[in-house]
Structure formats: structure tokens, C-alpha cells
Amino acid sequence: MTCFLNVVPQSSCSINASGIAKICHCSPLSVIRIIDEAVELKSRVARLPENLCFDEFRSVNSTMSFICCDAEGSHDIVAILENRLTKTIREHFMNRYTNRERAAVKSVVVDLNAQYIKFIKALFPNARIIIDRFHIVQLVGRAPGNARISLMKKMNNCHCREYKILKAHWRLFHKDSADLEAARSFYLRGVNEYMTQQNALDLIVKNHPQFEKVYDAYQDVFNALKEKNRERLIDVLENYRRSGQNMDTVISTLKKNMTAVLNSVEYDFSNGPVEGINHRIKSLKRSCFGFRNLDNFRKHIALIRS
């Protein structure tokens, strides 16, 4: 057993039982038995971290399971639950941790899942809610994409330069405006012309005011987050003028969660640790062709985290 456990965490933890059995020259049933005996699933951690990350991943039977980890230090997993229902999450933390332990939590990093934001204060009364910056940029970044597609559908001539720029060079509208090439000309495929990236962008933005409002709002939010400039972010959200585009809903969502959004530029915590764990979990699930039992899945996750 000792020899087997020395091999599994280092090189074989993302291989299914049959693959591990071939490496260790034993049967798949022996592999499963040894993992069951060696890995103990704990109902709680010894000490609740002061900074937490909340997220979810697809586990068994296509169910979305809740995962929580330490936002700093070793990024240890705090909990993996069978689902992401509010009732399940609340019961887990309230039944396993005292009021004093939960009150010691200083921050919780989440995505834009409104469900988490609603009950975090009840579980962790002194915790700051921080919305992950990546998810804010992802949300805001969808608005120029939707506006671009809507603009293309309104164009009658699909052979004009504007249509070709919108279709073939959509990345320009998501690029940081400071990184656009304004002096050197490039051959733009699809458009079949030489022009600078700035000229190509201006050709769309200057001729379509509604699209310009969406683009400017995206750039303002993106740069405020990049610079971690609280005042600029407040100014962008408060002074935004509705344009009848998808960006209106995006800004309304951010304003509704203003405190948590502003916390994202004041503190360095992010959902990076839990996203990294989720990536390894997906690789584990893919290499093992999925799991039917959540406890077995959790034990394999414990091995890849050892």
C-alpha cells in the first residue's frame, strides 16, 4: 500500500483505476480498495480560512456541485458539496462551524452569481463580498459582441468595408484601446486593404454612435479595473447614459452590486485559486471518463491536491 500511495499522488492521480492498476501491477479493484482505505473525507476543516473563494463545477450526473477553497496561502479546499443549492450551502457551514468561526472570515470572492451574494452575509457577517474581476470583464465584454452582431444584421450590404471589419476583425473591439496600433499599417484579411488598427476601429465607431457608446463604456470599465481605480469605476457606472443596447443591463447589474464590484478594485483577492482547482478537476474527470459516485470523485480530487 505504501508503494502504491507513493506512486499515485505524483504521477497517476489523473488516471483511471485501470491505468493505475497497470502501473502498479495489481487489479483495478485493489486500486479502488486502497484509495477508499487511504483517503478519508473530512466533514470540515480544522480552521476556517479568513479569505474564501466560492465557485461550482460539473460533477456526477451533470450536477453542478459547490466548491469552496482558501483564497490565499496553500489554496486548500474547504468544502465540496453535492449541489449548489442555497439550503445545502447554508446547512453545511452553519452545522459545522460556530458563529465565532464564521464571524472570523474577512472576505469571500464570488462570480456574478446573485444566489451567493444573497446569503453570504448571513453565513459570514463580517466578510467583504468581492466579485472576481475576470467575471466583471467577461460580463462587460459580451455587450460589444452583441452590439456588433446587431449592427451587422442591420447592414444591407455584406460586401462593404464596415461589414467585413465587423465580421473578420471582431477582436479589435475587445482589445485595450491603448494597445491598438495607430501608426503602422497592416494588411487586414477579409477587408483586403492596408490600414492601421485604429483606422479600422474608427471606421465603425465614428459612423455608428450607438455602438460607440457601448464600446466606450466597455473600455472605461476595463481600464478602471486594470488600473484598480475606484473613483474612475464609480464615475463610469454612475454617469452611464442608456443606449438601448445590452450594455444597459450590464451596467444595471454592476450598479446593483456596487459595493462588491468596488471591492474587486480595492483588494487583490480573485477566484484564480478555485478556477485552477476546477481546471484540474475537469482534467481528472476527462481522463477517468467521468464518475458516478460523488464520494469516489472527491477522493480522487483529494489525491490530485495532495
Of 26-40, 60-74, 116-130, which range is least confident? 26-40
Q: What cell does 202 get?
A: 474608427
Among the listed residues 69, 79, 126, 78, the one whose alpha carbon sits nearest the alpha carbon of residue 102: 126
Q: How confident is the model over 49-70, as pLDDT tens digits?
A: 999 999 999 998 889 999 999 9
Q: Can you tell me the mean pLDDT for 86-110?
A: 95
Query: Parallel, antiparallel, or unpaired: how do β-strands 51-58 and 128-131 relate?
Result: unpaired
Looking up cell 471518463 gives: 289
Q: Can you tell me the mean pLDDT for 60-81?
A: 92
Q: How confident is the model over 234-244, as pLDDT tens digits?
A: 999 999 988 88
List of residues 6+ apart from 110 with CB closer than 8 A: 53, 54, 55, 116, 117, 120, 129, 130, 131, 132, 260, 271
Q: Can you tell me the mean pLDDT for 77-92?
A: 94
Residue 289 has pLDDT above 50, yes or no: yes
pLDDT band at 281 (very low <50, low <70, confident <90, very high): very high
The pLDDT value given to residue 173: 93
Residue 7 has pLDDT above 60, yes or no: no
pLDDT band at 10 (very low <50, low <70, confident <90, very high): very low
pLDDT band at 290 (very low <50, low <70, confident <90, very high): confident
